């Protein structure tokens, strides 16, 4: 890797990046890596200390004489507010600047009640979780919602699904209570971000598939989330399957995999077959009891999902497909059917090193992903520099 120069590492935000990544942990390191003069280094470190983003430690090893002061990213220097919304359950949390959850709450909530009900409830919950923490320590807000999201604007675009949310631009609503950067993304995208950063940070290509009330995917490509031109990437739930039977989907089309293999579809089909099932837990009980009809229905759902994923694997060639959501977590036969079809229907090269694994973080991936998403933004060199005093020089000093 070529040596970075003062021309590319001049700002306080870039210095913070070096400290966060461990590339430079003393003032001397910063000067050596960037080529900045001592006064320039002192200026930038002083700005970061003043903002509470960096702290000094005097426990660095010494090679003789006075030990150097070590600089450390201050994860306690602020908080971010995060919320991972599902169709029926929501997790809300306050995290530190390292993404660690400080306080959180999970509760049942129907997002179909609409933004006028859901968003005030979220903001009230954040207020309660913040407790005595100063509101000035809030650095940003990250949210995942079960809808297609135009990421740049934070606008939900669900014309037929979650109709009451269609066209709602969420960030300005949140900023009326919390005037900080607000980032909103699709719920499965934040799950993919959380699982990637928390479990597979060294892999550049991953697909997270959520199989729950609905079916969707989040794609990591080249180390970053793939949103597409307007945020619609990963909507695999609305890919039709060969034998969808003309079942009407929420999106208005027929035979989508979401309409024939999601948790909602499983409950519908089993009730039609005379099974007394109200929740996925009831289906799980029948599977564990060895009910043949239920087992066959679950396996068929897995086969249909596998059919769609085989095509996605051929297009994207991920290193790992992570299966999450309460349906995937509950049913081994469904996961086995998915694996069987993907390995049979995808190309030999695409599956040569492919792993299909259950989510290791579970529902926690949503909170983790929301935190990573907003922290990557508010702690980026550009965002940090924008918060510095206007009088601070932006031109590198040698």
DSSP track, 88-144: SEEEEEEEETTS-EEEEEEEE--GGG-HHHHHHHHHHHHHHHHTTS-GGGEEEEEEE
Q: Which residue has the tokens 């602020």?
A: 78
pLDDT at residue 159 in the model: 53
- Residues of the chain with pLDDT > 90, as a percent, come to 76
Residues of the chain with CATH 1.10.10.10: 12-74
Angle at 367 between CA 221 and CA 143, to 5 degrees: 80
pLDDT at residue 388 in the model: 82
Residues of the chain with CATH 3.30.420.40: 79-190+364-382, 200-360
Quote the DSSP letter at residue 78: -
pLDDT at residue 62 in the model: 57
Sites in the chain below the pLDDT cut of 50: 1-7, 391-398
How distant is the alpha carbon of residue 276 from its chain centre? 35
Indicate the fold that domain 200-360 takes in CATH: Nucleotidyltransferase; domain 5 (3.30.420)
Indicate the fold that domain 79-190+364-382 takes in CATH: Nucleotidyltransferase; domain 5 (3.30.420)
Indicate the fold that domain 12-74 takes in CATH: Arc Repressor Mutant, subunit A (1.10.10)
Angle between helices 38-50 and 27-34 (to 10 degrees): 120
pLDDT at residue 160 in the model: 57
pLDDT at residue 89 in the model: 86
pLDDT at residue 5 in the model: 46
């Amino acid at each position: 890797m070529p040596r970075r120069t003062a021309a590319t590492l001049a700002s306080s935000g870039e210095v913070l990046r070096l400290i966060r990544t461990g590339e430079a942990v003393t003032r001397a390191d910063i000067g050596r890596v960037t080529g900045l003069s001592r006064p320039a280094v002192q200026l930038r470190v002083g700005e970061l200390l003043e903002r509470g983003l960096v702290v000094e430690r005097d426990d660095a090893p010494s090679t003789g004489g006075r030990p150097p002061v070590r600089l450390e990213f201050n994860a306690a220097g602020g908080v971010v507010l995060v919320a991972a919304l599902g169709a029926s359950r929501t997790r809300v949390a306050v995290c530190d600047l390292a993404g660690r959850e400080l306080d959180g709450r999970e509760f049942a909530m129907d997002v179909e009640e609409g933004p006028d009900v859901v968003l005030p409830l979220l903001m009230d919950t954040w207020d309660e979780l913040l407790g005595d923490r100063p509101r000035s320590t809030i650095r940003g807000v990250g949210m995942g919602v079960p809808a297609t999201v135009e990421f740049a604007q934070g606008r939900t675009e669900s014309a037929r699904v979650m109709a009451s949310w269609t066209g709602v631009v969420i960030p300005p609503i949140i900023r009326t209570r919390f005037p900080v950067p607000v980032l909103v993304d699709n719920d499965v995208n934040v799950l993919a971000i959380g699982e990637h950063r928390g479990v597979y940070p060294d892999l550049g290509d991953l697909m997270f598939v959520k199989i729950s009330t609905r079916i969707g995917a989040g794609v990591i490509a080249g180390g970053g989330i793939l949103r597409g031109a307007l945020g619609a990437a990963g909507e695999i739930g609305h890919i039709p399957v060969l034998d969808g039977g003309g079942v009407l989907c929420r999106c208005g089309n027929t035979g989508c995999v979401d309409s024939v293999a999601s948790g909602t579809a499983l409950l519908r089909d089993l009730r039609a077959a005379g099974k007394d099932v109200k929740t996925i837990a009831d289906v799980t009980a029948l599977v564990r009891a060895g009910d043949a009809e239920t087992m066959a229905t679950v396996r068929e759902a897995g086969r249909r999902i596998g059919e769609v994923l085989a095509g996605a694997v051929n297009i994207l060639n991920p290193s790992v497909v992570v299966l999450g959501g309460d349906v995937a977590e509950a049913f081994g036969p469904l996961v086995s059917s998915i694996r069987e079809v993907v390995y049979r229907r995808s190309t030999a090269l695409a599956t040569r090193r492919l792993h299909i694994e259950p989510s290791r973080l579970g529902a926690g991936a949503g909170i983790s992903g929301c935190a990573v998403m907003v922290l990557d933004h508010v702690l980026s060199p550009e965002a940090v520099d924008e918060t510095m005093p206007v009088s601070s020089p932006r031109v590198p000093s040698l």
